[in-house]
């Protein structure tokens, strides 16, 4: 049996996309390095220590005297003995002048002047005497001065080199939409359809 038919054929629209991806390149150049470190300055001044040893008195105690000191001592002793001689002569003159007093001054003077060697009292002694060596010491002096210098930094940084190419999307219609309507065993009459018999 033949029924009326409406045949509909549709075709979907198709889009063709062509994509070009974006490109980005980044280069980072190294910095220009210029760093200088001036050396530090160090200055050391040293005054050496000094040791003074004066053993003049110790040498004199063992009779190792300089000629200048011997002459000075002989002169001093001679002057002192001269003064002692004057005092002795004066005293003896006074005794002889007072001969009328009791006693025998001439015999006493002869006995006193007749002694050849005087007697000396001597106990324990040390040669050289303690403390005869004089020691004086000046310690060393050390003066240290230094001067540091800051580093000289003249480094230049470089900005990165960025290259960017935008992407692109190309859109085209590859196939347009289509709709076909076909009637079988129907005819169009006015505003309606009638069956063909």
For 127-189, the three-class secondary structure string (H helix, E strand, C coil) is CCCCCCCEEEEECCEEEEEEECCCCEECCECCCCEEEEECCEEEEEEEECCEEEEEEECEEEE
Min mean pLDDT across 54-58, 122-126, 128-132 is at 122-126
**Which 3 state secondary structure label does DSSP give 104?**
coil
**Global pTM exceeds 0.75:** no
- Where in the chain are the domains? 1-39+149-197, 52-137
- Number of neighbouring beta carbons within 10 Å of residue 183: 13
Local confidence band at 128 (pLDDT 50, 70, 90 cut-offs) = confident
With a cut of 60, say whether residue 196 has pLDDT above it. no
Mean pLDDT, residues 165-171 taken together: 91
pLDDT in tens, 13-43: 889 989 999 999 999 988 888 899 999 999 9
pLDDT at 140: 92
- How many whole angstroms separate alpha carbon 105 and alpha carbon 43? 85
């Amino acid at each position: 049996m033949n029924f009326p038919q409406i045949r509909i054929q549709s075709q979907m629209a198709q889009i063709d996309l062509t994509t070009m991806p974006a490109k980005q390149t980044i280069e980072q150049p190294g910095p220009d390095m210029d760093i200088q470190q001036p050396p530090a300055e160090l200055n050391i001044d040293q005054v050496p220590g000094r040791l003074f040893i004066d053993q003049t008195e110790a040498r004199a105690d063992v009779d190792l005297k300089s000629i200048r000191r011997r002459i000075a001592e002989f002169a001093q002793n001679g002057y002192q003995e001269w003064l002692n001689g004057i005092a002795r002569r004066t005293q003896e003159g006074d005794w002889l002048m007072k001969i009328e007093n009791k006693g025998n001054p001439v015999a006493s003077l002869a006995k006193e002047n007749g002694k050849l060697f005087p007697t000396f009292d001597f106990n324990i002694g040390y040669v050289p005497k303690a403390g005869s060596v004089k020691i004086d010491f000046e310690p060393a002096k050390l003066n240290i001065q230094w001067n540091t210098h800051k580093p000289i930094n003249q480094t230049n940084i470089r900005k990165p080199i960025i290259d960017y190419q935008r992407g692109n999307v190309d859109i085209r219609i590859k196939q347009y939409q289509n709709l076909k309507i076909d009637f079988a065993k129907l005819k169009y009459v006015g505003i309606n359809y009638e069956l063909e018999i």
